[in-house]
Structure 1
């Protein structure tokens, strides 16, 4: 039997679930009840709601980064295995949806941190030969993250007042099954038949400073 996590970890897990289910304004007493602790213990470990939310942000980033690095190291088999474990990621996905739904500076900061992490694990994919180099790795990472998070945010689950985490894994699977084929096709078999549009842009003043990527994905 797995040992019971310490109170601090139980609070963090409970907070991710409760904020995902009821939104970021969910009462801390509900988090405490879910974690089996007193509300005072949340303040003892985390100091305030904002600090608890910051810890939730860090956990969401850690799990996402770990997940993506595993895919870069293990390829398609790991990606499919992660899809089969949708229950494991439901609280994280639900929390991120709520954070984006709330908007504001903290949401923008979280997106920025997702972008920074994405640049790192995409670079690992470049080194592993899974991803082609980019003229502008930072810009590519930002576009990919904004496309991914924007697509999630457009979906219905996070727009509800109450999000059912028991239903979320099934929704994640259906969402992935609908989205992955066209996305993988788009990334593997480019939408544009040739590079004429890119070449024309790069020939303008706006694109003249964008140097082609080297074989290791770094700017010359």
Structure 2
């Protein structure tokens, strides 16, 4: 009889194999293929998880936790260290493709996963505001939702137009995507897009009853 430690190790190995399989091949990947990737029998997958839906739920939770950890580490890392190692990150590639598959799927599980991504983004945004890394928003939940939906939309279109030659080469997938989006993303986030705040000011005047005053949000009023 296996020990609890052995069960946990086997379960974790199967979960990670499933995450990679779903990321590379999609959520239609069979339990048999997942078991082969983990070098175990298909029966062992059912022993640990009971069903494919239960396995998917645990994979979703694990990917969300790893996404959160990766984002937190990137916010705390020295920029030189971050930009030296991130492009070649195989783990980042796995997360990228898994999130892509979930967003593109359109199922109840995919919608739930997207909402969880938004919740995670809101937590990270609030932490970043508290640390002084980013400016506050007049509506933090709305900003978190917009950033995630924009990111997911860009992700879906990017891979529709530029399908990876080898979806199993997670590091290469990450490096290719990163090389295309890093500069324009950092430019927009760091330097902005408009040369002045005229559009924002007019919008705030037109919707004054619905938008909290800038001073209430902790934002310096635009000049």
TM-score range, shorter chain: 0.7 to 0.9
Asked if 1 retains the 8 angstrom alpha-carbon contact of 2:118 and 2:148, the reply is yes
Q: 1:63 aligns with which of 57, 62, 66?
A: 66
Whether the 8 Å contact between 1:22 and 1:162 is mirrored in structure 2 is: no
Task: Tell me, yes or no, if structure 1 residue 39 matches structure 2 residue 42.
Answer: yes
Unaligned runs of 5+ in 2: 1-5
Conserved in 2, the CA contact under 8 Å of 1:94 and 1:158?
A: no
For the pair 1:153 / 2:156, whether they are aligned, the reply is yes
Q: Deviations over 1:103-140 (max 9, x none)?
A: 12221111111111111111111111110011011111
How is 1:103-142 mapped onto 2 (pairs within 5 angstroms)? 103-142=106-145
Task: Give the Cα separation in 1 of the matches to 2:204 and 2:29.
Answer: 49
What count of residue pairs does the alignment treat as equivalent?
214
How far apart, in 1, do the equivalents of 2:212 and 2:54 lie? 40
Q: 1:20·1:163 contact (CA, 8 Å) conserved in 2?
A: no
Question: Is the 2:86–2:92 contact (alpha carbons within 8 Å) kept by the matching residues of 1?
Answer: no
Q: What is the alpha-carbon distance in structure 2 between the residues aligned to residue 211 and residue 40 of structure 1?
A: 59
RMSD (CA atoms):
2.8
Where relative contact order (Cα < 8 A, 6+ residues apart) is larger, the structure is 1
Name whichever of 110-119 and 29-38 sits farther off. Answer: 29-38
Structure-1-length-normalised TM-score: 0.86
Q: 1:93 aligns with which of 77, 90, 96?
A: 96
